[in-house]
Amino acid sequence: MICAMFHWQPGEYDEEFNRLKAAIESVARASPGFLGVETWHSSDGRRRWAHY
């Protein structure tokens, strides 16, 4: 099993951030056996992440 994780801090996101996040998700979704995406945030709201 392969798991890719993307971490970020909440805030305002620029075009480069959105492009990178979209590229990571696109590659993950195109992978054979893709199972889905889970997103999480820390209890203090300072960190967010997605597992693909």
Q: Tell me the per-residue pLDDT of 21-50, one tens digit each, with 9 for 90 and over.
A: 899 899 999 999 999 999 999 999 899 999
3-31 average pLDDT score = 90
* H-helix or E-strand spanning residue 26: helix 15-30
Does pTM top 0.85 for this prediction? no
User: Among candidates 50, 52, 49, 51, which has minimal Cα distance to 9?
Assistant: 49
Rounded distance, CA 20 to CA 46, Å?
20
More reliable by pLDDT, 37 or 4: 37
Asked whether the CA dihedral 42, 43, 45, 46 is positive or negative, the reply is negative
In degrees rounded to 5, what are phi and psi of residue 20? -65, -45
> How far, in Å, CA of 1 to CA of 13, rounded?
30
